[in-house]
Structure 1
Amino acid sequence: MNGITAQDRRWLRAAIELSRLSPLSPTHYAVGAIILDRHGIALATGYTGETDPHYHAEEAALAKLAGRADLDLSEATIYTSMEPCTARRSRPDPCTDLLLDAGVARVVLALREPLLFADCDGVETLRGGGVDVVEISELGPLVTAINAHVLGVADRPRNDR
């Protein structure tokens, strides 16, 4: 598929806004994630540190769907403000592995993970696993501004609409 739709832009902006709920920390990015089913219905949301200080946004969203044996994510899309991680110190499984294990079909993101905490190759890992990855890089500056606390950007605007 790999095309960018108006829905992709709307849901990615919603994930970016959700990231503003992440507790600020010098040791992690503020990331938001929203999982939609094949019909465009939101199944779960998550943001960094939502339920556990070490939980990443994608992990938090997927955890809300755990135990639902009837749930098929093979046509689902996850909108995440930042590239899913491929390495982490705080948990055993990186988000790319969690997404691949869950069978998520498509990932839409705004910003690739900066080389600060880890050397991330989430886009390549997901694509190698058969996931359709779409980057909407013009929304990346919003994510950068929200993450000023770790990226050294001048400010962290509260509303970018």
Structure 2
Amino acid sequence: MTQQKDQYFMKEAIKEAEKCIPIKTAFCVGAIIVKNGKIESRGFSRELPNNTHAEECALMKLPDIKVAIGAEIYTTMEPCSIRLSGKLPCVDRIIHSGIKRVILGVKEPNTFVQCTGISTLKKHGIEVEIVHEMEKECLSIASKNHT
């Protein structure tokens, strides 16, 4: 059941990533926050002003940040551990939010930075899963316009 659930919600995150306007200097990522089987928030890269990331947008759009406590976040790409803009990385936002499980579509390629999102999340006791069946699709969407 968990595998089917993870695939279902990852497809929802992919729908968010597809809304993202592609640029050559960043990935197109989608994220959703799920609690008790219900989608609480959605976000995609650059949806909100100031170069926002998908996970950041989903967290910002929650009606109450306390909803994130014990929730899961589905993101089409590994949450960032460093931002060239100097903004707070998404892994730190996730850790501080109280999210208990992160499900991702694909690890972040070393295109722009060396990402340590998975290991950082695990060090903080957050469960991390990869939906391997959807890696190619997530990477293809993330990298559109990178040719």
Q: TM-score band, normalised by the shorter chain?
A: over 0.9
Of residues 60, 76, 79 in structure 2, which corresponds to 1:81? 76
Distance, in Å, in 2 between the alignment partners of 1:33 and 1:18 is 7
Of residues 21, 28, 45 in structure 1, which corresponds to 2:42? 45
User: Which protein, 1 or 2, shows the higher relative CO under an 8 Å CA cutoff with sep ≥ 6?
Assistant: 2
Distance, in Å, in 1 between the alignment partners of 2:6 and 2:53 is 21
The answer to whether the 8 Å contact 2:33/2:68 transfers is no
Which consecutive aligned stretches of 4+ in structure 1 deviate over 3 angstroms post-superposition? none
Higher helix share: 2
- Spell out the pairing of 1:42-121 with structure 2 (5 A cutoff): 42-52=39-49, 54-65=51-62, 68=64, 71-121=66-116
Over the matched positions of the two proteins, sequence identity in percent amounts to: 33
The CA RMSD measured in Å over matched residues stands at: 1.6
Normalised TM-score (structure 2): 0.93
Q: Which sections of structure 1, spanning at least 5 residues, go unmatched?
A: 153-161
The answer to whether the 8 Å contact 1:54/1:91 transfers is no
Distance, in Å, in 1 between the alignment partners of 2:120 and 2:132 is 18
Higher Cα Rg, which structure? 1
Of residues 10, 27, 32 in structure 1, which corresponds to 2:30? 32
Q: How many residue pairs were aligned?
A: 146
Normalised TM-score (structure 1): 0.85
